[in-house]
A and B are shown apart, each in its own frame.
Chain A
């Protein structure tokens, strides 16, 4: 068996010396180059789970394994795309991408070349030397995604990456991300509140209960890739959507 990109082993997490139970025995894996989404009610502990995987928090008990190694409480093993683009305002677009790569240990020169090459590919090369504030919200998120995609860590964590965008931009971004990901597969764990988004993008969906969070259901999304943006027209899409909706009630 090949090693999983991520393996969570019976994760418990509570705050305030145990009085606030947030994660209640969570176990699942993300296989190599698999796209997995997490859906759960607000406050169910999704961001907390990411903080645990990123090594910023330690689980009360349980273990995090990344690429076959125990990484519980240690940092630097993941690429990350947060809800807010989180671009440094004093760095140009290209320099922001380079920063992420350099923190992850990529050489200065290689990071510069990669940043420009990919900005060109996604049609943002003309903004390489601009400061982030001149970009629209959607463009900023493209840069933010690119920065995570180019980082050498094998696992990408995306925490509601399109949550702050308007509905139309959000749809465009989903298709854009799907296309890039299908051509450049990486192991992805995505947190989202949108069931459609999860169904469109993922291979599997983890449905969490509200706090303390347990895994309610693990749903395989069987649609073949490359996927059509018209997926929502298929009856199975709506069946799965209904199923998840019922779970979240």
Chain B
């Protein structure tokens, strides 16, 4: 364990160093007057500002986090359910799958204003937006996972008499778990962002709302503080999914492990 920790430290120190250098350069260029502080607040100013408005930031962040999490969970669940239905009913799959792939490439965030027209400024249109954003990557990944089973395993299951449902439960579903996590990771990295965008469209709370407010009030340090927090939240959600994946998928051969 300690060995592993040291190794991962070994792996990230060049990037960590680079980040430190960039931060220092940023700080210096602001301190030396190269860039005016109202355009680009220095890192230290941003951290100070964060500390100062921390309660308000947290208040708004909690709204954004719950929007992102509920949207993420709902979207993932719906994506999973749709994928299962499409997979089990081939004719529906044939009709829907191409549309699914095409719509996946539509920048979903662009429909935000339409949702606002239809559903007003409440929480529902925002939730729907996050939900849709998280829905697509999960459903497409799962569909591929259901389909992409090892043909020798499939043949084995059929030879010993497994029916369609057993094939699904014992082979296709477990096989799709790795795909599920790659879909969840994509959804996780979009969830917070889409929640923020949804809040831009009109909200009385949330980091998106706070950003707009700070921007209109000429408070660049606060805008940056929100951005930093958004990035951290997004990374945290992604990290959480990656962690759960590590815990769930333990059957994969560990790299470098020697076969006995």
Contacts and interface: CB of A to CB of B under 8 A. Distances in A.
Interface string B216-253: 00000000000000000000000000000000011111
In terms of DSSP, what is the predominant structure of the interface of chain B? Answer: helix
Contact of A86 (B156, B174, B250): B156
Contacts, number: 71
Given A131-B251, A133-B259, A88 B158 contact: no
A115 interface: no
B178 to A, nearest CB: 9
A89 B171 CA distance: 10
B160 A80 contact: yes
A103 B166 CA distance: 8
A76 B160 contact: yes
Contact of B159 (A82, A99, A131): A82
B259 A76 contact: no
Nearest to A55: B161
A157 B161 CA distance: 13
A172 to B, nearest CB: 16
Given A88-B153, A89-B251, A133-B251, A103 B160 contact: yes
Nearest to A79: B160
Given A90-B177, A103-B170, A134 B260 contact: yes
B156 A82 contact: yes
B186 interface: no
B3 interface: no
Given A103-B166, A133-B253, A133-B259, A82 B174 contact: no
Contacts of A157: 159
Contacts of B160: 76, 78-80, 100, 103-104, 151, 153
Interface of A: 50-51, 54-56, 75-80, 82, 84, 86, 88-91, 99-100, 103-104, 131, 133-136, 151, 153, 157
Interface of B: 152-153, 155-162, 166, 170-171, 174-175, 177, 249-253, 257, 259-260
